[in-house]
Each structure stands twice: as structure tokens, then as C-alpha cells.
Structure 1
Amino acid sequence: MKVAIVHDWLTTYAGSEKVLEQMLELFPEADLFSTVDFLSGSERQFLRGKEVHTSFIQKLPLAKKKYRQYLPLMPMAVEQFDLSPYDLILSSSHAVSKGVITGPNQLHISYVHSPIRYAWDLQHQYLKESGLQKGLKGMAAKWMLSKIRMWDYRTSNGVDYFIANSGFISSRIWKVYRRESQVIYPPANVSAFAYQEEKDDFYLTASRMVPYKKMDLIVEAFSKMPDKQLVVIGDGPEMEKVRQRAGSNVQILGYQEDEVLIERMQRAKAFVFAAEEDFGITVVEAQACGTPVIAYGKGGSLETIQGLDSPNPTGVFFEEQSVGSIIAGVQRFEAEGRRISPEQCRRNAMSFTPDAFKRNLKDFIDAKLAVKSASRLRSTDLEIPQVL
């Protein structure tokens, strides 16, 4: 069986790349396709030397830094991949890779991290944060997103089976494609995040500093609670905005290697998370360290954290992405957090191991391959009447 794995773009080693890593372990002989490949030498080890087949976007001007600006060309780019020699196509998609062209004798299974966020329910947030609500540029962006929505919906018919990375994304898949999907939670490398029971008197948040992560709100909330210490790890375009809102009780470390992140996660009183994520691997990693989570109660967090209404809670939810709501969440944690045990946090995180992901993914693919094989056998058994 020949297998092709298609990924949106390879520019960093983050959540979707951790899923890709496990797919490559499951199918080590598979060929890999991506619109672009700009991984640095230190980040591409998970590919294990595998050649990446890229699209024409790889060679366009400034593609390394501005690849996202070529989004209007990406549907055409993935459609140019010739996947006709392959029996199984496995796409890992949060943008365009699910739109590859396949034939009736091929099996296409798409693992969806999310339908294209900025083209569907997060379009208005994207346009607002990008300053594209008005003017000619705004009109052009809205037209482009409209075209991408039409393409995205049409190409959903080319997927035989959908896998969603959470129940939250399964609901999105049904909303935009009207297709059923199987939930298989993505892997978290919990073995790298060692358990530690003893905690210090500080809170931690860590993320890329991009608008939807709401790091600025977390920093502002703690700046209004000067008796509480916050450590911030991460970098990105929102860094200056975050720095401007930081009080003297907020320590901003910027980008840090995994060793520093893990050490702070192990020691933190709680991990604070304000994004509406599809899944949210960092909250699982924090729990693997035995660290409770204070999180925005929407999206994938509701599936990875056990709230205070659970018999075995691992965290506290706050209701809104606002400074006041974050403060209320921290205050509730300090009042009721004694009900959360480090052991239960670790136990909850162990539900999301790479082995569990690979086992569930393999079982799903094997079952669908069996269905495909049985269908082929039935079709060859059909009698074709002769025309006299």
C-alpha cells in the first residue's frame, strides 16, 4: 500500500506538527507533501530526514516570511500535487491540505485541526485584528475569504472520512461541511513533562504572542493583582503590547527552550490559559506536571480539563475573555483550588499520550481500509449484462 501524507505548511514545530510526527511514525514509508517547507535545521528532526514535496509557493518571492499572504494561491497549490499513485491519502489540515484531488479508488482520510478559522466563524475577528474591516483592502480580503469558503466547502466532498481533533472541532466540521467526524484527540508528549507535587507561589502562562491567545489580557489581569506573581513565556507580534500592560509583579521571559518551560510548569501554582483553542496541548502538558489550569471555559479546554463541578477536578474555568473574568477565575482558584490534586492532574493528562493517539488512529484507518477493500470485492462480483 502506497501512502501519502499532506500537511498545510511546515514553518515551525507546533501542535499540528506533533500530530504529523505521529502520523510519520505510524507510516514511516509514506511520502510527505506540504505547500512550503521552511523548517529550521533544529526543528526538522521529527521528519527523520524525509524529503518534503513542496508546491510552487516555495519559490515565490518572500515566501519564507510572508507565506500566509499567499493563502489565495494555496488551494491551487495543493490541487497540483499528483497523488494518483497512492492508495491512502492522509491529510493533516487546519487550512487547505484536505483539498487535494483524489480518485474513486483512493481512500482519503482527513485529520482536521479546524476548518479554515479565518474564513469561517472567526472571519470577523480576523478582519478586525488585521485592520481589514474597511476600504479597498478590506473589500479585497472579504472577497478572497468568500472564494476560499466556497472552495473549502466544495472540496469537503473529496474527503472519504473526517477525523476531528476534539468534539469542539467535530461540531465545526458538521456546521460548515455537514459531515460526520470521528474524534481522536491529538498527542501530547506527557512523558517529557515530569510530574512534580511541590509548587511555588507563582502563576505561569506560555504561548505564542498572537492576538487570539489573549496573552495581553492575562498580563493586564495580573497587573491589577499586585500581590500575585505571574511568569510569562513566549514571543511573537504581540510582545510589545504585552510588555506595555505588565506590572512589576509580571516577569516576561520571552522565548525559552523546552527545559525552562517544563521547569516553570512543574513549579507553578497554576497555569493560566485564555485562548479559545481547538484542543490546547499546553494545558495537557501543564497537567502532566501536576499543575492545575485556570482556563477560558470554551472550546477544547472543556474536553481536556476537569472543572470544579467534576468529582476529580484539574482546573478552574472563567466565563469570558476579559480582564475581570480572568481575575475572577484566579480568585476562585485561590478559594477552592485545594480540591485539585496534582495526582489527578497527571492522571487526566495521561489520556492524551502519543501511544493512545497512534493506536486510535491506526484502528480507525484499518477499519476504513477494510470497508474500502470489501467495497472493491463487491464491485468485481457484479455481473455485467452483455449487450446483444
Structure 2
Amino acid sequence: MSAPRIALVHERFTEYGGSEAVVAEFMKTWPGAPVFAPITDPRCTRTLLEAAGLSPGTSGTGGPGALSTPASELVRDTWLSRAYAAGGRRSHAPLLPFAPRAFRALPLDNAYDAVVVSHHAFATQAAFATAAPVIAYVHSPARWAWDSAFRAREAGGRAGQAVLTGLGALARRNELRAAPRLAHVVANSQAVADRVRDWWGLPASVVNPPVRVARFAPDPSIEREDFFLFAGRLVPYKRPDLAIAAAQRAGVRLVILGGGRYRQQLEAMAGPETTFLGAAPDDVLLDMYQRCRALLMPGVEDFGIVPVEAMACGAPVLAVGAGGALDTVVPGISGEHVPAGNDAEVTDGFARAMRDFDPAAYHADTIRKHAATFSPETFRTRIADIVSRNSR
């Protein structure tokens, strides 16, 4: 029996993050499958190929006509990439209104047994470009389109709010148009599956995204220190402001690891108990995971890669009890849930959790064993089974 002919579709390759890491695992699952995206940046696609275990000179054998295809040709873009390059690759945002049309025009035709789509805004529009079954791996329906409170935090002012409101209406309309054409929906957490049910009216399986748990591990020679850690991009929805306010209230040390547009505002509100280290490479991140008392996750994440990385190092996680944390943080085993609520309630909850934190209540080996259940190998096995059952 011949291997299934699979095509992969992703939103865009403009920076490398969690959703791009999922695509890299797709590429390992179906070697040689072509990857379509309307907008690409060579720097991001180079990182993608490396993460997939490929180099520009290697070849793949997955898609029709793709025998011995050089890896550098596996990622295929559209005219939007040329427009992006012409603008100096400064921002992809002005091109997003054109993305639905670009997805619908992808050359998928009838050449594949299944199309696997990595979606968080417009990618499910690829369902209009093929008669093959389309399996959508949904990082989330576009939260800035469906959730007005989320949109207000991300907009960055009145002008941004107006732009996101218009773009959100386009995203909602297109997501709903594509939903009936999907053969199967896979959500990256139960919280995202609930959104798919509520916003699209569809059921969804849950397959948590892959986490590089083998890259992160406890070091018995390193002792835990007396600081809590926030790690991640400094953007509003991750709520580093709540971590800072809670540390001030509790009178405990906090280390902020990460960079972003929110940093100057955060530094203005922080007290002497908070230290900003900026963006850092994996070795610094690993060191901080191994030294911190616990990681803080005050924002509601779709899933949350960072908490699982920290748990792989034996660090417990204090997380707001909503979103992806309900999938990853097991109270009394790998950390604790802080009750969700308004900003004042969440701040009080984190302050109390940090003030009362007892490191002796957690065991690094138990935490790491839990983190191992989110390995890339587990992800590839589960997603391959779903696609196989839904291919023609």
C-alpha cells in the first residue's frame, strides 16, 4: 500500500513560534509533503527546515511529483510573499485582508489524499482549493475576531481597534464559511475545542501540541532559588502585568525573561523585587527553569508551551485556571490553578499562591514525568492516526 499523498498548509511563515513548530512535526510525520503558505520569510522557512531535520540540500519524497524534491522547494508561497518582500518584510499585517483569496487559490486541486491545515486566522480557506478531505489543526479560532475583550487588549489604541474590528469581521465570516467543508477538526487544547464548538458549531478532537521535553530537564546539581519566573513574549494577552503586580503585593522576587512591545510599560510599573532579563537563548531559559521556585502563567493561553518546558525541568507552575493550563497543570502534581476572575482577583490569587508556596510539596521527577506526555513523538503518532482515518 502506497503512502498517503499529503499536502500541508500554514497561515504564514513570518516568524518562528509554537504554530511553526507544529508544522515542523507535520513535516517529520509526512516527509516530503509540500507546505503551502501565502506569506513567507526566508529566515523563518530556514528555521522551519532545520527544525524538521532538513537542510536546503536534502530531498523529500512525500507529495505527488515531489520525489527527490530539494527541501528548499518544499515550502511554496504566493504573490503575497513578493509584496511582503517589496515592503521590506517590516509587517505582514497590511496583507492579511488578501490572505483568504490567496488560500482559496492554492494549487491543491485534486492531487492529494488529504490536506492538513495549521490554522489560527485564515488558513481554513484552503478548503475551497481542493476536493480532498481537509483536516484542520486549530491553534485557535481567531481570538481577536471572536473575543471583544481580547481584541481591545491587543489593539493598542483607537486606530488599532478599528483595524482589528474590520479584520475580525472578515475572519469570522471566512471561518464560518469554511467550517462545513472541513472533514475533521483537531484542537490544540480542550479550551480551543470548546471555542470551536461555540464559535464554529463543530466538534473537535484534542491533540496537544508538541513540546521539546527532551531539550529541557532538571539538573540535580542546581538548587532552586528564591525567585518566581515569568517567561515569554511581553505582549498584553500573556498578562505579565498581573505577575508584576502580584509579586509586589506578595513581596517576593520575580524574574521576567522575554522581550516585546510591552516592556517599557511593564518596567514603569515594576518595583525593585522585579528583574528584567530581556529575550534570551535556550541555554538561559533552561537555566532559569532549573533555578526558579515556580513558573507563573497569569494569561489565558490557547495551550502554553512554556509551562510544559518548565515542568520538563521539574519546575511547578502557578497558572490561572483557564485555557490550556487546564490541560497541562495538574493541581498538587505539576503546580496549582489560581482561580480565574477580574484583574484584581487574579492578582490577589497569584500573590496568595506565591506567598504560601511550599516547594517541598512538589517532586521534580513526578513533574517531569507528566511533562513527557506532551512529547513530539506522542504528537506525531496521534495526528498521523487522525489523518489516516480521515484520508480518502
TM-score scaled by length of structure 1: 0.87
Select the residue among 186, 206, 231 that pairs with 1:206.
231
Match of 2:295 in 1: 271
Q: Is 1:358 matched with 2:361? A: no
Q: Does structure 2 retain, via aligned residues, the 8 Å contact 1:223–1:245?
A: no
Select the residue among 109, 114, 121 that pairs with 2:140.
114
| CA 1:238–1:81: 2 relative to 1, 3 Å | same
Match of 2:5 in 1: 2
Give per-residue Cα distances to partners, 1:101-131, cap 9 Å, x unaligned: 45775121110010111111x2343145425
Q: Which amino acid aligns with 1:358?
A: R
Match of 1:19 in 2: 22
Helix, strand or coil for the counterpart of 2:92?
Answer: helix
Match of 2:341 in 1: 320
Q: Does structure 2 retain, via aligned residues, the 8 Å contact 1:214–1:321?
A: no
Q: Which amino acid aligns with 1:71?
A: L
Helix, strand or coil for the counterpart of 1:40?
Answer: helix
Q: Does structure 2 retain, via aligned residues, the 8 Å contact 1:223–1:247?
A: yes
Q: CA deviation at 1:139?
A: 5.3
Match of 1:92 in 2: 118
Q: Distance in 1 between matches of 2:157 and 2:267?
A: 25
Q: Distance in 1 between matches of 2:121 and 2:156?
A: 21
| CA 1:339–1:4: 2 relative to 1, 3 Å | same
Q: Distance in 2 between matches of 1:62 and 1:221?
A: 42
Select the residue among 36, 41, 51 that pairs with 2:39.
36
The farther-off stretch of 326-335 and 155-164 is 326-335
Give per-residue Cα distances to partners, 1:187-213, cap 9 Å, x unaligned: 111111112453111111111111101
Match of 1:341 in 2: 363
Select the residue among 319, 329, 334 that pairs with 1:305.
329
Q: Distance in 1 between matches of 2:149 and 2:353?
A: 32
Give per-residue Cα distances to partners, 1:144-177, cap 9 Å, x unaligned: 4223311210011221111111111111111111
Point out where structure 2 has 5 or more consecutive residues left out of the alignment: 57-70
Select the residue among 88, 95, 98 that pairs with 1:70.
95
Helix, strand or coil for the counterpart of 2:91?
Answer: helix
Select the residue among 218, 233, 236 that pairs with 1:195.
218
Match of 2:68 in 1: none
Match of 2:196 in 1: 173
Q: Does structure 1 retain, via aligned residues, the 8 Å contact 2:104–2:128?
A: no
The count of residues paired between Structure 1 and Structure 2 equals 363
Show the 5 A alignment for 1:143-292: 143-196=166-219, 198-226=223-251, 228-292=252-316
Select the residue among 324, 329, 332 that pairs with 2:350.
329
Q: Which amino acid aligns with 1:83?
A: L
Q: Distance in 1 between matches of 2:40 and 2:163?
A: 27
Q: Distance in 1 between matches of 2:357 and 2:269?
A: 28
Q: Distance in 1 between matches of 2:154 and 2:184?
A: 34
| CA 1:103–1:66: 2 relative to 1, 3 Å | closer
Q: CA deviation at 1:2?
A: 2.6
Q: CA deviation at 1:243?
A: 1.3
Q: Does structure 2 retain, via aligned residues, the 8 Å contact 1:221–1:323?
A: no
Q: CA deviation at 1:68?
A: 2.0
Whose Rg is larger? 1
The farther-off stretch of 248-257 and 336-345 is 336-345
Q: CA deviation at 1:40?
A: 2.2
Q: Does structure 1 retain, via aligned residues, the 8 Å contact 2:318–2:353?
A: no
Q: CA deviation at 1:334?
A: 4.5
Helix, strand or coil for the counterpart of 2:356?
Answer: helix
The farther-off stretch of 334-343 and 189-198 is 334-343
Q: Which amino acid aligns with 1:159?
A: L
Q: Which amino acid aligns with 1:248?
A: P
Q: Does structure 2 retain, via aligned residues, the 8 Å contact 1:13–1:43?
A: yes
Q: Does structure 1 retain, via aligned residues, the 8 Å contact 2:118–2:139?
A: yes
Q: Which amino acid aligns with 2:338?
A: F
Q: Does structure 1 retain, via aligned residues, the 8 Å contact 2:138–2:188?
A: yes
Q: Which amino acid aligns with 1:106?
A: A
Point out where structure 1 has 5 or more consecutive residues left out of the alignment: 373-388
Q: CA deviation at 1:339?
A: 2.3
Q: Does structure 2 retain, via aligned residues, the 8 Å contact 1:36–1:55?
A: yes
Helix, strand or coil for the counterpart of 1:219?
Answer: helix
Q: Does structure 2 retain, via aligned residues, the 8 Å contact 1:314–1:341?
A: no
Q: Distance in 2 between matches of 1:325 and 1:128?
A: 17
The farther-off stretch of 48-57 and 102-111 is 102-111
Q: Distance in 1 between matches of 2:273 and 2:228?
A: 11
Q: CA deviation at 1:11?
A: 1.9
| CA 1:324–1:142: 2 relative to 1, 3 Å | closer
| CA 1:290–1:334: 2 relative to 1, 3 Å | farther
Q: Distance in 1 between matches of 2:250 and 2:357?
A: 18
Q: Does structure 2 retain, via aligned residues, the 8 Å contact 1:287–1:345?
A: yes
Q: Which amino acid aligns with 1:206?
A: A
